[in-house]
Amino acid sequence: MRSVIIGTGIGVPANIVTNEALSQLMDTSDEWIRVRSGIRERRYADPGQSSSDLGVIAAAQAIAQAGLTPADIDAVIFATMTPDRLLPGNGPLLQKGLGLRDIPTFDIRQQCSGFLYGLELADLFIQSGRYRRVLLVGAEVHTPFMPWHLGWDTLIGQSTREITEAERAENTLTRDRTVLFGDGAGAAVIEGREGEEGLRLIRLHTDGSGADVLTMHGAGFKRRPFVTHQQIDDGETLPFMAGKEVFRSAVTLMPQAVREVCEASGITVDSLDLVLVHQANLRIIEGVQKALGLPPEKVPHNVERFGNTTAATLPILLHECLTDGLIRPGMNLVFTALGSGLHWGAALYRT
C-alpha cells in the first residue's frame, strides 16, 4: 500500500499586489524585491478572509479533482501558522465550511515545513490502516501580521488617500519581512492504493537550537498576560526573522535532505525528474538547485507570483506543475522545505 495524491487544489485570493504597489507604502522598490527574492507580486486576502476560508476553496477543488465528495474524506490534517483563532484550530472550521462528516481533524504547526510534516502524518495514518483518504491542507493569511491598516485601503484601491510620512516610516520598519510573504492555500487528497505510484520515503528534522532565528515572541503563553499593548507597540506580535541565517540554513539543509532521501532509497540525485522546493526566495531555490547539480528546468518555481505562502507553497506549486503538465507518470519527484523551528526535510514520491 502506498499513499497516492489523487487530487489537488488551490485557493488564492483575487487581490494581486505588485512590488510597485508596496513601494507606495514604504521605502522599497521593485528592483530590491526582485533582485533579493525574485518576487514580482503576491496575493493578499480581503479583510475578513481567513486561512480556513482559503483552505476550504483549495480543499473543495482537490476533492472534486479526485472525483470524490466531502463525504469520502476520512481525516483532515490542516497545516498553518496563521489560524483564524488561537482556539479551536482550523480543522473544525474547515470541517464545517466543507460540510465534512464527523471525522477527526488534526491541526499542525510546522510553518514552512507544514506540508511535508502533514505528508508524513497522512502516510502513517494510511499505512496503519486507520484512515483511507486523508485531506491535507496548507493555508496562510499573513496580511494580518502586516501594518497595512497604515495604507491597506489605498493598496487595494478603496481609497485615494495619500500615505502620510509617519505611516510610510512605520511600514518601512518591517519591509525586510512584509515584502516576502503572501496569502494562499493548497490542498491534496491522499489515498492508500496498491501499485508503484505514491510516497516512497520521508525524512524530517527539527533543530530547536534554531528556534530564535525565525520566531514570534509576543502573544505567547510564556508571558502573563499572553499579549499586552506593550508587546504590540514593540512589534513583538510580528514575526522576527534573522534573514541571512535562515537563508544559509535553507541552502545547506534542503540539499542535504534531498540527498538523504535519495541515498536511503538507493537512487541518485541525477535520476530525480523534479524537485519541488519550498517557495521562500528565488535565490534560495536556485541555491538548492545548484547545490544538487540539477538543471534549472528540474526545479520549478512560482515564488515570483505568490511570494512565500509558508505551509501553502508546496501544494500550490504541486497543483500548478500538475496543471501545466510538468508531472507525468513514472517520475521521481522530491518535495523539500525548511522553515521556523527549525523544521526541514524531504519526501520522495513516485508518480
Q: Which residues are catalytic?
A: 112, 278, 308
Query: Would you state the cell numbers that stand for residue 246, as one nine-digit string?
Result: 535562515
Using CB atoms within 10 A of its CB, is residue 180 exposed (0-12), middle (13-18) or buried (19+)? buried
The answer to whether residue 332 forms part of the interface with ligand UT7 (CB under 6 A) is no
For residues 281 and 180, the answer to whether their CB atoms sit within 8 Å is yes
* CB of 339 closer than 8 Å to CB of 310: yes
* Comparison of 133 and 177: residue with beta carbon closer to ligand UT7: 177
Output the CA–CA distances (angstroms, integers) from residue 180 to 32, 198, 200, 228, in the order listed.
11, 32, 32, 27
The rounded distance, in Å, linking the Cα atoms of 347 and 139 is 20
Q: How far is the CB of 175 from ligand UT7 (least distance, A)?
A: 4
Closest CA to 10 of 324, 314, 341, 338: 314
Q: Which of residues 287-306 bind ligand UT7 (CB under 6 A)?
A: none
Q: What is the CA radius of gyration of the chain?
A: 20
Q: Specify the length of the chain in residues.
A: 351
Instruction: Kindly indicate which of the ranges 66-74, 144-152, 239-247, 341-349 contains the residues binding ligand UT7, using the contact rule CB under 6 A.
Output: 239-247
- Indicate the residue among 31 and 162 with the shorter CB distance to ligand UT7: 31
User: Closest distance between ligand UT7 and the C-beta of residue 129, in Å?
Assistant: 34
State yes or no: residue 171 binds ligand UT7 (CB under 6 A): no
**Does 36 engage in binding with ligand UT7 (CB under 6 A)?**
yes
* Burial label, 245 (beta-carbon count in 10 A; 0-12, 13-18, 19+): middle
Which residue, 3 or 37, has its beta carbon nearer to ligand UT7? 37
> Does the footprint of ligand UT7 cover residue 175 (CB under 6 A)?
yes
Q: Taking the complex as a whole, how short is the minimal distance between the CB of residue 282 and ligand UT7, in angstroms? A: 9
- Cβ of residue 41: shortest distance to ligand UT7, in angstroms? 14
- Any bridge partners for residue 343, and if so which? 206, 339
Beta bridge partners of 79: 108, 138
Cell of 24: 507606495
Task: Name the residue nearer to ligand UT7 (CB basis): 222 or 244.
Answer: 244
308 sits near ligand UT7 (criterion: CB under 6 A):
yes
Residue 75 or 238 having the CB closest to ligand UT7: 238
Residue 100 or 246 having the CB closest to ligand UT7: 246
Interface with ligand UT7 by CB under 6 A: which range of 5-13, 30-38, 120-128, 149-157?
A: 30-38
Stretch that binds ligand UT7, among 128-136, 175-183, 185-193, 286-294 (CB under 6 A): 175-183
> Considering only CA atoms, which of 175, 248, 214 is closest in space to residue 341?
214
Residues 6 or more apart whose Cβ sits within 8 Å of residue 42: 16, 17, 181, 182, 183, 305, 306, 307
Residue 248 near ligand UT7 by CB under 6 A: no
Please identify, among the stretches 33-41, 189-197, 229-237, 285-293, the one whose residues bind ligand UT7 according to the rule CB under 6 A: 33-41
8 Å CB contact between 8 and 187:
yes
What is the binding site for ligand UT7 (CB under 6 A)?
Answer: 28, 32-33, 36-37, 112, 175-176, 179, 214, 241, 243-244, 246-247, 250, 280-281, 284, 308, 339
